[in-house]
């Protein structure tokens, strides 16, 4: 674009809450063939709420099975499961974590401050609390730590097909000496958070598809939840890439761009930054993280997925008028 076209386009974009950065960005926006949406915080509000707590190991009657330690002589009820999960998640800034902590507070549960905490990106968290070592996250997180996630399968699948994000709660309890018993790890419950799809998301997807743009959904969340959201907003199930780890999001965008096609990636999270940089056009949601905004070529100040089309329209209009 000429400097004049760039100035005009940038100014018109800004009036619509669409911030273009850099000189050749208008052409690149005009030329995209595909739009790739991150799910959480982009197509959805990213404001999670705790919806379900399942205890897989409910309190046994007196004389219930000993599981190797005083803390586990009788099983855990829902409040125990939630208190453990929330105690572990207190240190995390993930929206999933904040909803769990908030849900526990609403129920008046007392939380324990972890003595150790680790964030496992794209999988969950692990923390050491009074009760033992707690894991909250995906089946892969538990698997990776030698805890069998399968006893939670039916509850997890039920919650996921409702479009919720289900997280398993695993525990390695302390033994009588207070030592954490590595081999006694088991899944003790499931917690689920639900998010709200942005009101304009379906129309935004329909309008882009009407213009023959290929629309994709990419997420670290599980396949079942991702498909439930894709169905709700009108994205083809074949265009859903789920369970993508943060470090693999950029490769997934590369794959979509493989046959010389150009993609606009729309995202909000720290996780999305490499994918935003890899895409022909990186587009950040204005309320997203600074890291995402810095990696992006375009920022949508109104956090509205429908503004993707506005960005495309502005670039087309300015490049047509001033050639
Ligand atoms: P997204 O791509 O939707 O922003 P993430 O990559 O942040 O998702 O997370 C992917 C998955 O990892 C989540 O759906 C969840 O199962 C698990 N996970 C990530 N962070 C946490 C956490 N703090 N607590 C529990 N589970 C988590
Ligand atoms: Mg996100």
Is the CB of residue 97 below 6 angstroms from any atom belonging to ligand 1? yes
Name the residues around ion ligand 2, CB cutoff 5 A: 38, 40-41, 268-269
Residue 21 tokens read as 């950065």
Of 43, 95, 137, which is best to mutate to test ligand 1, by the most ligand atoms within 8 angstroms of its C-beta?
137
Cα–Cα distance for residue pair 197/206, rounded to 1 Å: 15
Which ligand ends up closest to the CA of 284? 2
Cα(220) to centroid of ligand 1, in Å? Answer: 6
CB hemisphere CA count around 263 (13 angstroms): 27
Which ligand ends up closest to the CA of 122? 1
**Per-residue confidence of the chain (323 residues) as pLDDT tens digits?**
788 888 889 999 999 999 999 778 999 999 999 999 999 899 999 889 999 999 997 755 444 454 444 444 458 999 999 999 999 999 998 889 999 999 999 999 999 999 999 999 999 999 999 999 999 999 999 999 999 999 999 999 999 998 899 999 999 999 989 999 888 899 999 999 999 999 999 999 999 999 999 999 999 999 999 999 999 999 999 999 999 998 899 999 999 999 899 999 999 988 899 999 999 999 999 988 899 999 999 999 999 999 999 999 999 998 875 54
What's residue 92's pLDDT? 95
CA 29, 32, 38, 39 dihedral sign is positive
The predicted model scores a pTM of 0.81
What's residue 163's pLDDT? 87
Is the CB of residue 267 below 6 angstroms from any atom belonging to ligand 1? no
Residue 46: C-alpha distances to residues 49, 158, 180, 273 (Å): 9, 21, 35, 17
Cα(41) to centroid of ligand 2, in Å? Answer: 5
Residue 55 tokens read as 């205890």
DSSP helix/strand/coil, 304: coil
Cα(48) to centroid of ligand 2, in Å? Answer: 12
What's residue 247's pLDDT? 87
Task: Specify the residue for token string 């050491």.
Answer: 128
Sheet of 116-120, strands arranged across: 49-55, 186-194, 165-173, 132-137, 124-129, 116-120
What's residue 266's pLDDT? 97
Cα(289) to centroid of ligand 2, in Å? Answer: 9
ipTM metric: 0.95
Question: In terms of Cα–Cα distance, which of 243, 239, 154 is closest to 190?
Answer: 154
Question: How many helices, marked H, and strands, marked E, lie in the chain?
Answer: 12, 13
DSSP helix/strand/coil, 288: coil
Taking each helix axis from N to C end, the angle separating 223-233 and 153-161, rounded to the nearest 10 degrees, works out to 10
Q: Which letter does DSSP use for residue 197 in this model?
A: B
Is the CB of residue 163 below 6 angstroms from any atom belonging to ligand 1? no
Give one DSSP letter per residue of 250-265, joined into a string.
HHHHHHHTTTS--EEE
| Residues across the chain | 323
What's residue 275's pLDDT? 96
Contact (Cβ atoms closer than 8 angstroms) between residue 276 and residue 283: yes
DSSP helix/strand/coil, 17: coil
Task: Specify the residue for token string 């993280």.
Answer: 289
Q: Which atom of ligand 1 is nearest to 138's Cα?
A: 16
Smallest CA separation from ligand 1 atom 14, residue:
221
Displacement of CA 136 from its chain's centroid (Å): 15
Domains and their CATH numbers in the chain: 3-46+197-321 (3.40.50.1000), 49-194 (3.40.1110.10)
Q: Which letter does DSSP use for residue 94 in this model?
A: -
């Amino acid at each position: 674009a000429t400097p004049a076209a760039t100035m005009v386009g940038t100014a018109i974009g800004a009036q619509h809450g669409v911030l273009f950065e850099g000189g050749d960005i208008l052409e690149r926006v005009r030329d995209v063939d595909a739009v790739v949406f991150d799910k959480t915080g982009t197509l959805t509000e990213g404001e999670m709420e705790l919806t379900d707590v399942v205890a897989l190991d409910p309190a046994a009657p007196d004389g219930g099975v000993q599981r190797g330690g005083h803390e586990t002589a009788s099983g855990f009820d829902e409040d125990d499961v939630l208190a453990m999960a929330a105690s572990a998640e207190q240190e995390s800034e993930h929206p999933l974590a904040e909803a769990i902590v908030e849900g526990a507070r609403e129920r008046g549960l007392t939380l324990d401050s972890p003595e150790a905490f680790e964030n496992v990106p794209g999988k969950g968290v692990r923390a050491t609390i009074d009760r033992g070592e707690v894991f909250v996250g995906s089946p892969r997180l538990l698997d990776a730590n030698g805890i069998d996630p399968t006893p939670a399968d039916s509850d997890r699948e039920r919650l996921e097909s409702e479009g919720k994000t289900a997280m398993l709660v695993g525990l390695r309890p302390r033994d009588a000496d207070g030592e954490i018993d590595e081999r006694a790890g088991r899944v003790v419950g499931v917690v689920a958070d639900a998010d709200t799809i942005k009101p304009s998301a379906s129309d935004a997807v329909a309008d882009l598809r009407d213009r023959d743009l290929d629309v994709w959904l990419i997420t670290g969340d599980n396949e079942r939840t991702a498909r439930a959201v894709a169905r709700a907003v009108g994205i083809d199930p074949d265009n859903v890439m789920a369970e993508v780890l943060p470090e693999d999001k950029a490769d997934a965008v590369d794959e979509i761009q493989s046959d010389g096609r150009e993609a606009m990636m729309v995202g909000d999270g720290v996780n999305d930054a490499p994918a935003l940089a890899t895409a022909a056009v990186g587009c950040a949601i204005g309320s997203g993280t600074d890291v995402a905004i810095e990696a992006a070529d375009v920022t949508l100040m109104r956090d509205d997925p429908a503004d993707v089309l506005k960005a495309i329209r502005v670039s087309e209009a300015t490049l047509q008028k001033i050639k």
